[in-house]
Structure 1
Amino acid sequence: MKSPQTVLGALLAATLALTACGGTDSAAANGCPGDGKVRFGVEPYEAPDKLKPAYEVLAKALSAKLGCEVELQIVDDYAAEVLAMRNGKLDVAQFGPLGYVFASQKAGAQPVASFADGSGKLTSYTAGIWVAKDSPAQKIEDLRGKSLALSSVGSASGDALPRYGLKKHNVADVKLDYAGGHPEAMLALINGKVDAAEINSQQLASAKAAGTFDEGRFRQIWRSEPIPNDPITVRGDLDQAFKDKVRKALLELEPADVEKVGAFLDVTPPGPLVEVTNDTYKVLFDLANTLGLKEEDV
């Protein structure tokens, strides 16, 4: 005859085993990936210590909608994000519009949603080139022989579009200085390290709000056509039911869930996320073709 302690121990072990199985079954029932965790990558378009708190709000809301744990990752750079999705290390990711072009081609990324304003309209932003107010440069052609701070390789507004603007206006002899990010490019101009710098409309809005950019001391001499805002994507080789679940969850987020992220993207006031497709970003595919950009350029 077994002792009461032995019986109690067996019952406890069985209970713990059932509890563990229940957790796995619950994740599977919710359509989560195999380990019950959704890995969500974000491009480093602003300082990570600023992005993380904002995206943690979005990730928490997404986790509640999905019934899966959402693990947030602020990646090192654009190329690292594409590589991570291609290697199956990211399930969901927000890419810059140009980064998305290569993520779709090389990692099978599929666009799901992007950021809308309070009226539900998809938002956009513009690339720009700025100079000091007392600079002799009045237009982009005046940058011949000058230095221009760009963000980082692979950025649509911080790299490709300014270079496209130079090419379109036949300005070839410009010294390009990759500063490492949008804030760094702006800082190079503020500190007089370069003659001009790329400053997109999103960075301009956030810097003005933070009091780190005095617009009265500078002038914009070139601006791009509007660029559709960043897509949030899913990895193409995931189960279709899960991809549909992510799409539904993102589109059902409340404006308050994306408000802090929207502030970085100059989306004020924010609305719910809206659905986007590959066609939404056709202008970026055309830009990549025009400039002859390849994966290694991101």
Structure 2
Amino acid sequence: MVPRGVAGRRKSRYNPCRRPVGAVERHMKRIVFATGPIARTPTRRQPRRAFAQLLSAALGLEVVVVVASTYNELAGLVHRGDAHVAWLPPAVYVRSCQRDGVQLLLETIRARGSVFRSALFVRTDASFQSIEDLAGHAVAWVDQNSCSGYLFPRISLFDRGVDPRTHFRRELVLGSHEAVVRAVEVGTASVGATYIDQVPGEDARESHPGWTMEVELDEMRPLMVSDPIPADTISVRPDVPAQVREDLSAALLSMHATEEGAEVILGLFGAERFEPGRIEDYEPIRRAIELSC
């Protein structure tokens, strides 16, 4: 016999993000912190462990750091509730905010006061002198969620009246900055997108460009450099309790105050410290996402 009031109701599909009120509070004995592909490198293994230990000691909770292989996987960890808090690059944060209500907690402040930008680069010995010279050639992108490797260079192109969808013969999405550099090096693509970590007052070419992960500095040169890109974020799921969010924020804001903490932040996130996040800083990302559609 069907209980009164149940007949005719449509059974709702299970949604792992729709948790009972108070579920997180009752079971918050550990925090899962997710980070992205950059943390998979061998040099970041020790900073990952040290970061988990420092944060665990500050919070009095077990902290587990998980590393996603791709930006989509990173967003999925947060979406499913497999991670409570995450390092999210700007575009992943904005998309997760729109889809899941993820909340901005902190921004990373890059070392030496540097400004993060995107560059479209070519081989130094190539004949190209402008973006217009690349009409009909192949371009290599990193990932459609990458600000420096996809979104911001496309904004710069559109602002110059260049539509990348028609300007280039082929658009290759290769999954990593290293793969983009290799594609330009061997000629699979004539131009690629990567980041430039630019210190004010320095020439763009001398400011730690992403291609130095694979080749020497003077083997590539930038043709176009974007406007500054907003900082990477530390963001939390909306069902993380307010007190836990406050404790997380306090622990991370003060982590750089010790020598060990400063080394961990630099080694894992390439940052000098954290500061409170400002939602308005990410409006350019929303525009970039709209233009990429």
In the superposition, the TM-score normalised over structure 1's length comes to 0.76
Helix, strand or coil for the counterpart of 1:138? coil
Question: Does 2:289 align with 1:288?
Answer: yes
- Over the aligned positions, Cα root-mean-square deviation in angstroms equals 2.7
Q: Is the 8 A contact 1:205 1:266 kept in 2?
A: no
Compared with structure 1, are the counterparts of its residues 259 and 201 closer, same or farther at alpha carbon in structure 2 (3 Å cutoff)? farther
The amino acid that maps onto 2:208 is: A
Compared with structure 1, are the counterparts of its residues 88 and 42 closer, same or farther at alpha carbon in structure 2 (3 Å cutoff)? same
Q: Which has the higher strand share?
A: 2
Counterpart pick for 2:116 among 121, 125, 128: 125
Counterpart pick for 2:87 among 94, 105, 109: 94
**Distance in 2 (alpha carbons) for counterparts of 1:46 and 1:191:** 27
Compared with structure 1, are the counterparts of its residues 58 and 89 closer, same or farther at alpha carbon in structure 2 (3 Å cutoff)? same
Question: Does 2:67 align with 1:70?
Answer: no
Q: Deviations along 1:227-259, whole A, 9 cap, x unmatched?
A: 122001111122111111111111111254253
Question: Percent identity at matched positions?
Answer: 22
Measured after TM superposition, the shift of residue 82 of structure 1 is 1.8
Q: Is the 8 A contact 2:117 2:229 kept in 1?
A: yes
Counterpart pick for 2:261 among 244, 257, 263: 257
The amino acid that maps onto 2:143 is: S
Q: 2:36 aligns to what?
A: 43
In the superposition, the TM-score normalised over structure 2's length comes to 0.78
Q: Deviations along 1:36-88, whole A, 9 cap, x unmatched?
A: 11000112146544444333322222111111111111112212222221221
**Distance in 1 (alpha carbons) for counterparts of 2:89 and 2:237:** 15
The amino acid that maps onto 1:259 is: E
Q: Is the 8 A contact 1:149 1:178 kept in 2?
A: yes
Where does structure 1 lack aligned partners over 5 or more consecutive residues? 1-30, 294-298
Measured after TM superposition, the shift of residue 265 of structure 1 is 5.8
Helix, strand or coil for the counterpart of 1:56? helix
Question: Does 2:275 align with 1:274?
Answer: yes
The amino acid that maps onto 1:153 is: Q
Where does structure 2 lack aligned partners over 5 or more consecutive residues? 1-23, 199-206
Which structure has the larger Rg? 1
Q: Is the 8 A contact 2:177 2:210 kept in 1?
A: no
**Distance in 1 (alpha carbons) for counterparts of 2:106 and 2:57:** 18
Q: Deviations along 1:10-45, whole A, 9 cap, x unmatched?
A: xxxxxxxxxxxxxxxxxxxxx987151100011214
Q: Deviations along 1:154-201, whole A, 9 cap, x unmatched?
A: 111111122223333324231111111112111222233211111201
Counterpart pick for 2:142 among 132, 151, 166: 151
Counterpart pick for 2:153 among 152, 162, 167: 162
Aligned residue-pair number: 256
Q: 1:108 aligns to what?
A: 101
Q: 2:133 aligns to what?
A: 142
**Distance in 1 (alpha carbons) for counterparts of 2:191 and 2:110:** 31
Which consecutive segments of 4 or more residues in structure 1 shift more than 4 A? Answer: 206-210, 263-267
**Distance in 2 (alpha carbons) for counterparts of 1:229 and 1:260:** 18
